[in-house]
Amino acid sequence: MLAMILAAGLGTRLRPLTLVRPKVLVPVSGMPVFEFLVHRLHQSGVEAVMVNAFQLKDEMAAVVRENEWPVPIHVRLEPILLGTGGGLRNFLDLMRADESFIALNGDIICDAPFDHLYRLHLDTGGRVSLLLHDCPEFNNVAVDPDDQILAFGREAVDLKKVRPELRRLAFTGIHFLDPSVLKDLPAGEPSEILPVYRGLIERGEPPRALYHPGLFWRETGSIEAYFRLNIELAGMREGVLNPLATGRRICIHPRSHVSPGARLDGVVHVGKDSRIAEGSRLEDVIIWDGVDVRAGSRLRRCIVADGVTISGVHEGEVLHVR
């Protein structure tokens, strides 16, 4: 079983954080999302992971090259942004022609059992299955009573109006695909995957909907969602999203130093090689790596990206090196 993490997106809604790191390397509870996803895939029996990179692609390649991973990781840098379809097509030579693979967005935290869902996909006998769930903010996929996916986006909204028996659900960003659906996409050229799925619907081979009752799924695609997720995870029971830390209000990297005279309230995460000086007060603050919080500083509901030196009072800010 192979998997691909889609990691080439620009992360526009997560700026300015994605001016510092690719969005898949943004830390959640102190762990980059990419690292979390690789470990979850490995736990499900995935033998190798493919990943594409465009935004800050050299940083992405360096992380893959310089760290140890539980499975082989194949990274390919895109000279132009290829889109979801083009990014998947770019790895067609590494895929097994007779074996479906998993593709997933690199900006999600979830507890999907990939091995179980993979088997469900094979049982459908179809070429594509998509994991769906009920998330009103994103419910724009139309599904019939036989779990066939019939439309996406505005088309799904319009179809539901004339076919009330349909359900509208949200796509999780987790695909199960037969490589054959990619073969007609032009190699090395930008393309999207939704036209491929719409073509399957038109030919009477619609993608099938998969579900996982009680699915925990969150996206990290915006500043608000990212901050909210870190706070939420601190309030959850420990161990429910291994290897991600949950149920921990204060997380300090062992290579960082927090002065005994600093006060930490609410949820505070401090990344590697950071220093929190005497007399500082932090409340609901996410600090990345190499940050220097000077004496007497006050931070509340802030996100501080790599390498920032901070002094003074800050509330509700995203601080990064300019």
Residue 97 pLDDT class (50, 70, 90 cuts): confident
Examine the domain organization and report whether 218 and 280 are in the same domain: no
Establish if 262 belongs to a structural domain: yes
Last residue of a domain, one of 160, 189, 223: 223
Helix H or strand E segment including 58: helix 57-66
Examine the domain organization and report whether 28 and 137 are in the same domain: yes
Question: What is the model's pLDDT at position 91?
Answer: 96
Using left for φ > 0, alpha for ψ between -120 and 50, and beta otherwise, residue 173 falls in: left
CA-only gyration radius of the chain, Å: 21
Establish if 129 belongs to a structural domain: yes
Q: Are 50 and 91 in contact (CB under 8 A)?
A: yes
Q: Give the residue numbers spanning the domain of 27.
A: 2-223
How far apart, in Å, are the Cα atoms of 289 and each of 23, 108, 299? 15, 21, 16
Q: Are 142 and 160 in contact (CB under 8 A)?
A: yes
Provide the CA 126 distance to its chain's centre, in angstroms. 26
- In tens, the pLDDT along 208-243 reads 999 999 999 999 989 999 999 999 999 999 989 999
Establish if 233 belongs to a structural domain: no
Q: Three-state SS for 251?
A: strand
CATH number of the domain that residue 263 is part of? 2.160.10.10
Examine the domain organization and report whether 194 and 100 are in the same domain: yes
CATH number of the domain that residue 113 is part of? 3.90.550.10
Rounded to 5°, the CA angle 254-243-37 comes to 115
Query: What is the token pair recorded at 317?
Result: 């800010």
Does this model's pTM top 0.85? My answer is yes
Examine the domain organization and report whether 183 and 72 are in the same domain: yes
Question: What is the model's pLDDT at position 297?
Answer: 97
> Tell me, what DSSP letter sits at residue 148?
B
As a whole number of angstroms, the distance between CA 177 and CA 122 comes to 10
Establish if 242 belongs to a structural domain: no
**Helix, strand, coil fractions of the chain, as percent rounded to 5:** 30, 30, 40
Examine the domain organization and report whether 212 and 86 are in the same domain: yes
Establish if 191 belongs to a structural domain: yes
In total, how many domains does the chain have?
2
- In tens, the pLDDT along 242-293 reads 999 999 999 999 999 999 999 999 999 999 999 999 999 999 999 999 999 9
Establish if 239 belongs to a structural domain: no
Q: Are 61 and 76 in contact (CB under 8 A)?
A: no
Residue 248, Cβ density class (10 Å: 0-12 exposed, 13-18 middle, ≥19 buried)? middle
How far apart, in Å, are the Cα atoms of 226 and each of 108, 190, 314? 10, 28, 19
Q: Are 3 and 34 in contact (CB under 8 A)?
A: no
| 17, pLDDT greater than 90 | yes
Q: Are 282 and 262 in contact (CB under 8 A)?
A: yes
Establish if 228 belongs to a structural domain: no
| 122, pLDDT greater than 90 | yes
As a whole number of angstroms, the distance between CA 24 and CA 8 comes to 9
